[in-house]
Structure 1
């Protein structure tokens, strides 16, 4: 992990900047105190020679009582640097390292802001709000995300990878196991899903995977009922997949009624925890507490 973090140093320089005070603690060539980053990178290894300053000179070393002590500019880069330097007046305060994004000093480090700056932006996928909603349970959301990408090792995928396994669904024993079958064309999981949805809305939920995605994206429900429905969808996928894995790895089984109860408990417990931090979520809890 440490090695991976060290590889990010070059990216960190993009956000780190030294605000000059007295210039005594900042290396002229090595530290990112100008908009051009470390000057050793801006000018190259011959930069100190070009500028006529010692390699480990500080910013303060290049000043006198009358101003800056720099050789005449002999390149466009030097001209740009000197134009910036003339705007700096040394003070009695110490130099200060700050974290900046878009030239705005940040009060604290925010991984989201940094990630948005260094990543290559992609268009929003139509299902993002179905997965990363505010009432999500992280492990449920992660499992749903993998299933949306169809990356979980369902039996049909294991067979395609060359594994010698039986493809019959471990829950119903009737058809081949796949993502679309498990959620919710399987007779075992379909009953759990429909019974959970019936608690929240009189609308009839589809059983096909793609149809469910479309239905959830277009459902006309109140805000908290919609969040509860997304919680239910997540929990059904997570608990059904857990039951499938329980059967696959240990041979133990639970009846649909037990999985149904696990779904209810997970959603209720999450709603209760949200109310503790935000009383406005009480209506979300009411969607579950009477069952």
Structure 2
């Protein structure tokens, strides 16, 4: 249109007349017609967001989402899944696991897909969400190692484990560490399951733990700049029984 990339609207108005190249399409004609109706003010323009009658100077997706969607009460497990300073992909994966929406083999069979129903980790029982976390011997062996470091009594039943995580109601370094480690365990077990499914590669429980341990320590160290005391407390708790 011949307008400089960084031009502002007022730069196109010279002595009360719009300085614009001839229109070359119907869209430009409509744009020019709209421009002639604009009364430019001498004050600086600004923007604001109005949601449900309340004016905001910043845009927040969460506020708009809550306004557009029907309000619903928090689910009882939200504090165990949506934790602050968590690893985002672990948050998301834990959310899918709690909702039982990961494509385990029992679900694939229910969708009409012909697959072997045996667990890819232990190769003995039917694979399901509840079996993977932590009825499966392989996954339970990993969870035992993690739980021992957290001074936690490991449960083999999925609902019992979830209830255990939900009961951690206080925002202490130990609680945050426990939830971070639990979510990391879910994530790395599912990663190992998928690696066996798609690339036919197998890792031992000890190898998975080393990957999880390295990632968790890196995450804890990332707290050091904003909260060095929390970082030190969590590292001490993690290493105390390691």
Query: TM-score, normalized by length of structure 2?
Result: 0.77
Is 1:153 equivalent to 2:86 in the alignment?
Answer: no
- For structure 1, which runs of at least 5 residues remain unmatched after alignment? 1-54, 61-90
1:191 counterpart (134, 141, 146)? 141
* Pairwise CA distance, 1:117: 1.5
2:63 counterpart (113, 117, 126)? 113
* Pairwise CA distance, 1:205: 2.0
- For structure 2, which runs of at least 5 residues remain unmatched after alignment? 1-33
* Pairwise CA distance, 1:280: 4.2
Please give the per-residue CA displacement for 1:120-172, whole angstroms capped at 9, x wherever unaligned: 11111011111110131111111111111111110111111111111111111
2:105/2:128 contact within 8 Å kept: yes
2:181/2:216 contact within 8 Å kept: yes
- What are the residue-to-residue correspondences of 1:21-36 with 2, within 5 Å? none
Q: Which residue of 2 aligns with 1:218?
A: 167
Q: Which residue of 1 aligns with 2:220?
A: 271
* Pairwise CA distance, 1:216: 1.5
* Pairwise CA distance, 1:94: 5.9
RMSD: 2.5
Instruction: Give the total of aligned pairs.
Output: 207
Q: What secondary structure, in the 3-state scheme, does the structure 2 residue paired with 1:276 have?
A: coil
CA gap 1:110/1:288 in 2 versus in 1, 3 angstroms? same
Q: Which residue of 1 aligns with 2:129?
A: 179
2:139/2:189 contact within 8 Å kept: yes
1:267/1:288 contact within 8 Å kept: no
- What are the residue-to-residue correspondences of 1:132-143 with 2, within 5 Å? 132-143=82-93
